[in-house]
């Protein structure tokens, strides 16, 4: 399980455990750098996994995507190339690759079907990340067609849930919005003890909660200075006393999927869906791979390459969209967050900042045809996320 500590990876790990799968292997980034080819090979040599879930990625929101363009394409390409190539070299039976619906063109017809991939230009603000993820799904598709592997790529919509990233600079829209609203409320309430806890847990630009709460009378001046420093830092992110400023106009539409729903969908695909199911069993079978008489696949020769057997035609867009098929505006999302947090202040949208893609609704008919639909609706999910966030500050 690559990325087992992340938002989706941890949820997939827990889902598998709940189903009785206990022989799971994961490594933290400190234990295994997936961008290090030699280290990844050594890991596969040692563990010899039967299945791989590639949920690790270098991710972030609009600001991070714009600031770290080279990192987003290079880090993700290295991770994918190393894990997928070693999975093949070590004979892994099944691989599940997690991408993102940002792979689709900026002006793709809505809702976006899998077949709209590569039909027009991408959204500029996350172009590098999208290109990396397109390369990953094409790696899976190409290995399947050339070598007869069983690598499935799933493209989740915007995810949120337990273990989400609440970093103010590089998190996605919902957790960043939620933390901003919560901190603005705490500032208004004068709850500096809680602000200190929040910053100790997740420092902002290296600033923690140290010195925010007076321990003695003579500390007042220092405490005042520390609080002013924190307020100045938070103001850079649109957070002030009872007021939050969010990027854009609030009009873009977004679809959100609870991470534990994504995990359930991923495990469903991992356990029940094969490549032949995705592209249509009538067009595809083991005979196309030059299988030997004992049923083993000859990995050195594949008759399944597109065009090698003309009757197969062009096989492409074999990935699977994973989402709810439902959407709401960023402004409507902010209203749900305000309600969950119990915020009585003002939320303002700064239209001078970019909106990103105006709409990103996906077509989930392929997923439904493969036997899975979502369970958690957005209204319930936002409330659950805030409860998780508050709980994380107590641990």
Return the active site residues.
129
Contact 9, 52 (CB under 8 A): no
Phi, psi angles (nearest 5°) of residue 383: -65, -45
Distance CA 2, CA 44 (A): 12
Point out which residues pair with 158 in neighbouring strands: 256
- Kindly report the number of other CB atoms within 10 A of residue 184's CB atom: 24
Distance CA 145, CA 226 (A): 60
């Amino acid at each position: 399980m690559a990325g087992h500590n992340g938002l989706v990876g941890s949820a997939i790990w827990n889902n598998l455990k709940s189903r009785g799968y206990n022989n799971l292997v994961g490594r933290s980034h400190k234990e295994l750098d997936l961008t290090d080819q030699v280290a990844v090979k050594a890991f596969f040599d040692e563990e010899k996994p039967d299945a791989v879930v590639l949920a690790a990625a270098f991710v972030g929101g609009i600001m991070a995507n714009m600031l770290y363009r080279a990192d987003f394409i290079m880090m993700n390409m290295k991770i994918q190339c190393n894990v997928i190539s070693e999975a093949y070299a070590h004979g892994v039976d099944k691989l599940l690759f997690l991408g993102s619906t940002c792979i689709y063109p900026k002006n793709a017809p809505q809702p976006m079907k899998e077949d709209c991939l590569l039909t027009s230009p991408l959204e500029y603000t996350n172009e590098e990340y999208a290109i990396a993820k397109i390369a990953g799904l094409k790696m899976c598709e190409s290995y399947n067609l050339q070598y007869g592997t069983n690598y499935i790529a799933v493209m989740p919509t915007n995810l949120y849930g337990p273990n989400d990233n609440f970093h103010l600079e590089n998190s996605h829209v919902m957790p960043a919005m939620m933390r901003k609203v919560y901190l603005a409320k705490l500032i208004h309430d004068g709850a500096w003890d809680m602000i200190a806890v929040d910053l100790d847990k997740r420092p902002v630009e290296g600033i923690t909660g140290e010195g925010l709460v007076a321990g003695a009378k003579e500390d007042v001046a220092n405490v005042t200075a520390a609080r002013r420093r924190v307020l100045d830092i938070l103001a850079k992110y649109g957070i002030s006393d009872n007021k939050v400023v969010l990027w854009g106009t609030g009009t873009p539409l977004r679809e959100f999927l609870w991470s534990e729903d994504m995990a359930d969908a991923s495990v469903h695909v991992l356990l029940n869906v094969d490549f032949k199911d995705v592209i249509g069993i009538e067009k595809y079978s083991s005979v196309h791979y030059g299988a030997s008489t004992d049923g083993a696949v000859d990995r050195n020769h594949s008759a399944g390459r597109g065009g090698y057997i003309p009757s197969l035609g062009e096989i492409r867009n074999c990935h699977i969209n994973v989402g709810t098929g439902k959407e709401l505006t960023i402004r409507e999302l902010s209203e749900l967050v305000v309600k969950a947090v119990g915020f009585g202040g003002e939320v303002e949208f700064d239209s001078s900042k970019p909106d990103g893609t105006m709409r990103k609704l996906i077509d989930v008919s392929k997923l439904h045809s493969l036997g899975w639909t979502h369970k958690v609706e957005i209204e319930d999910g936002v409330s659950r996320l805030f409860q998780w966030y508050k709980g994380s500050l107590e641990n």
